Structure 1
Amino acid sequence: MSSPKDILAGMHRALEEKLSDRSWEHRSPHGLFTPIHYTISLGGKRLRPLLCCVAARCFTEQWQRALPAAVALEVFHNFTLLHDDLMDRSPLRRGQETVYRRWGDNTAILSGDAMSIEAYTALAEVEDKGLLPALLASFNKMAMEVCIGQQLDMEYELRQEVTVAEYMEMIRLKTSVLLGASLEIGALIGGADSQTAHSLYEAGVELGLAFQIQDDLLDVYGDEATFGKPIGGDIINAKKTLLLLYALEQLRGSELEELRAILELSPEERRGQVAHVRSLYERVGVRAYATQAVEAHTARAYSLLEPLALSQEGRDLLLTLFATLAGRKS
């Protein structure tokens, strides 16, 4: 009998084959499709499509029926990363040069647009066409919320005061709903009823909150070679992360003024202040606070799974995937 890790590896291989079947590298004009092939070929954990396939397996042995939707979710996710890198002026993605740096802003915009269209094309390839209205409703809601979350993220960079509650809602929209939709869509394809599928959606949202806070932690405390992008980018860009908001709330006196003064600097000037900000974070226990938040949201994700009627193999796969994410370093 195959272990959950072996089954997940098999799912991962099937996803890679389906992505490869899109043959972007052979499509014309190459100036449009080569950046798409480049983006997808950078790899990654394929977390969202794996969640989709595993959710389907929770209700049917024919999890392969979820592959078109899984491809759609992965392509959409990478489209958002491509545009995020452009908006954030990020030089690296997964350790490689970002699309706008390699091909320019206009290509990054247009290739990203093409990827969003390609995502819907893949979703429409789901075999059971009767499911498409429900799948499109979930996908469309998620897609719009991701855009809203990205806009809020940009607006918060310009605001002096942002509450923790506002931040948590922003990352729910920008990051978490995509994980939730991946589970919900996979469950619906597998044959789950709408209520059970929604419970999985909520578990995915909780997992996504933990995932994003962990991402914030890795940006400050991670290893650059493992993380795949420069450490301290959120500090340089004055991103209103949970770490920064908590530090602003907890610091007092001259230390608070030091942090506020750094936030008033230009991004280039802040580049030399990353270690200083990290030291201010350490004085008020930011790392421990954020780690506890990750653990709390992960625990809620697990608790939402407990009462659901899932196949034993599907449950084992979900728990394995959740555990892998909870301990991630990149």
Structure 2
Amino acid sequence: MATLTGHTDVRPRTTDSAQSAVERIARRQLADARRAIDPVLRAAVGGLAEPLDQMAGYHFGWCDPEGIEITDGVQGKALRPALTFAAAAACGGSVDDSVHAAAAVELLHNFSLVHDDVMDGDPFRHGRQTIWRLWGETNATLLGDAMQALALGVLSDGVPEPVTAEAVIRLARATMTLCRGQYEDCAFAERTSISVAEYLQMASGKTGALLGCACALGALCAGADHRVVSAMHTFGCEIGLVFQLVDDVIDIWGDPAVTGKPAHSDLISRKQSFPVVSALASDTSAGRELARIYQARQPITAARAARAAVLVEEAGGRRETLERISGALGAALDVLPTDLATGDLTALAHLVAHRDR
């Protein structure tokens, strides 16, 4: 992983050629998933009233703010639908079986993104103005609500009939857990002290719940039994934790030329990401100096943020985060049933763990 150059990486390592092959497989899955769900997403969005349909099209990168179609719009990773398809394939299912479930989890994910941008006041996403900046907070909130409703509609209309009820219940429960995690993340901004356990609970809700649901829905649509569906859910939840922790590493030590984000943006905004929480709880001189920077009244300048990054590492925050990533990745891979063809899921897991943006 590029962000870890020059530092000890405690995660499982593979040869460069093997890792490159795994990454190619995973990135092909992401591209295939995006193509597969595109018709379902466009049909669902097309049923929205104006201007919600235009707003959604802009958010998904299909058009400009005026509604004029574009072909080079930046789109999301499509990780969640890719996990749905990979879980279905591992259980003997097809794309047709699981495409509506995959589209539903992508819609639900984007509901959370639109609302997150409003709550965080973020003016840009993927280098473009966010929905609330163009159409206002009220309309952005309504679009998020509409995407959540579309997700449930797409799921109930398209998954195999024998599993419709369970699929809808799983997506609804994931939504509630996601909202709880987002609430906890927002509440952390008002607190000076957060425990490691509290942070992990937040991450399991905000990020892990939907990835777990995505994998469970894939298995469910393929007709898997309860044991396998449960295992897939656990796999996805652990990969969600990996995703969040890698995000935290990237936000502090990532290369801005790669991430597209300003250097140390999380530290400048005093965000209590996992490395920071771990460092503050370390009872070290570096941790205490970091606490003074976070608790000071004056803004955190670029220079003070750079110092804070050094202190987080000296206090063991980076090492602890990498160890947690390694543990969660190992737990995810260990839970996969050995009698299934889980190579695609494994490739996606390694892509999540080794990404640099």
Q: TM-score, normalised by structure 2?
A: 0.83
Contact 1:66 1:186 in 2 (8 A): yes
Q: 1:37 aligns with which of 35, 38, 57?
A: 57
Contact 1:90 1:98 in 2 (8 A): yes
For 2:143, give the aligned amino acid. Answer: S
Change in CA separation of 1:36 and 1:89 when aligned onto 2, cut-off 3 Å: same
Q: Deviations over 1:112-150 (max 9, x none)?
A: 111111111111122422211110121111100001111
- 1:24-103 matches, within 5 Å, as 24=46, 28-30=49-51, 32-41=52-61, 42-103=74-135
Contact 1:171 1:209 in 2 (8 A): yes
Q: Which residue is equivalent to 2:16? A: none
Q: TM-score, normalised by structure 1?
A: 0.89
Q: 1:263 aligns with which of 271, 285, 294?
A: 294
- Give the match's secondary structure for 2:194: coil
Q: Which residue is equivalent to 1:298? A: 329
Change in CA separation of 1:136 and 1:27 when aligned onto 2, cut-off 3 Å: closer
- Give the match's secondary structure for 1:294: helix
Q: 2:205 aligns with which of 173, 180, 187?
A: 173
The structural deviation recorded for 1:239 is 2.3
Contact 2:30 2:82 in 1 (8 A): yes
- The size of the alignment, in residue pairs, is 320
Change in CA separation of 1:213 and 1:75 when aligned onto 2, cut-off 3 Å: same
Q: Which moved more, 1:179-188 or 1:121-130?
A: 121-130
Q: Which moved more, 1:238-247 or 1:199-208?
A: 238-247
Q: Which residue is equivalent to 1:147? A: 179
- Give the match's secondary structure for 1:159: coil
- Measure, in 2, the Cα distance between the counterparts of 1:231 and 1:191: 46
Q: 1:191 aligns with which of 223, 228, 231?
A: 223
- Give the match's secondary structure for 1:21: helix
The structural deviation recorded for 1:4 is 4.7
- Measure, in 2, the Cα distance between the counterparts of 1:11 and 1:111: 23
Change in CA separation of 1:261 and 1:91 when aligned onto 2, cut-off 3 Å: farther
Change in CA separation of 1:184 and 1:265 when aligned onto 2, cut-off 3 Å: same
- Measure, in 1, the Cα distance between the counterparts of 2:192 and 2:29: 47
Q: Which residue is equivalent to 2:39? A: 17
Q: Which residue is equivalent to 2:339? A: 309
For 1:135, give the aligned amino acid. Answer: A
- Measure, in 1, the Cα distance between the counterparts of 2:30 and 2:125: 24
Q: 2:308 aligns with which of 257, 269, 277?
A: 277
Q: Which residue is equivalent to 1:318? A: 345
- Measure, in 2, the Cα distance between the counterparts of 1:61 and 1:185: 11
Q: Which residue is equivalent to 2:11? A: none
- Measure, in 1, the Cα distance between the counterparts of 2:353 and 2:275: 18
Structure 1: which 5+ runs fail to align?
none
For 1:191, give the aligned amino acid. Answer: G
- Measure, in 1, the Cα distance between the counterparts of 2:309 and 2:156: 46
The structural deviation recorded for 1:23 is 4.7
Change in CA separation of 1:10 and 1:195 when aligned onto 2, cut-off 3 Å: same
The structural deviation recorded for 1:271 is 4.9
Change in CA separation of 1:209 and 1:8 when aligned onto 2, cut-off 3 Å: closer
The structural deviation recorded for 1:100 is 1.7
Contact 1:4 1:320 in 2 (8 A): yes
**Root mean square deviation of aligned Cα:** 2.2
- Measure, in 1, the Cα distance between the counterparts of 2:76 and 2:84: 16
**Are positions 1:233 and 2:265 aligned together?**
yes
